[in-house]
Amino acid sequence: MTATVTRRRVSTPTRKKVESVKRPNLRVVDKNAIKRRARRRALLGLSGALVAAGLFAVALGYAQLAQGQRHLDTLRQETSQSQADLARLERDVVLASSPDAVVARARELGMVRAENPVYLTADINDETDLVVQQ
């Protein structure tokens, strides 16, 4: 038995194909340029952080203002309510101290008008003795 070995032919690229493949443009790296870019990135990051912190501070300030305004509104409402209560109580005092109201309350308590009223006057002597005259 004899074996036959066949050889496959591997094609090699022609010069045209090799030249048509583009190679990337290579250049020398500038270390100063890398440092400048790193500084720019750091500056941009710091600037972004400062802007974010500033916006947060502004939002916090507005929240404090809104809370203070709500407290002021509550105080104003309580003040107006207290003023209304005071006005109502003053009106009640005026009505209760009128002569007609005093007489009506005295009758409710069972008091009657005196038939012969006696009026007393008080004189104070130099020796602080109280003398009552009829």
Answer yes or no: are the C-beta atoms of 120 and 133 closer than 8 Å: yes
Q: Which residues contact 99 (CB under 8 A, 6 or more apart)?
A: none
* pTM of the entire predicted model: 0.46
Query: Encoding tokens for residue 88?
Result: 């109502």
Q: Which range, of 52-56, 84-88, 122-126, averages the lowest pLDDT?
A: 122-126
101-114 pLDDT, tens digit each: 999 999 999 999 88
Q: What is the torsional sign of CA 77, 78, 81, 87?
A: negative
pLDDT of residue 101: 92
Question: In what helix (H) or strand (E) does residue 132 lie, and over which residues does it extend?
Answer: strand 130-133
| Phi-psi category of residue 21: left, alpha or beta, with phi > 0 → left and psi -120 to 50 → alpha | beta
pLDDT at 37: 93
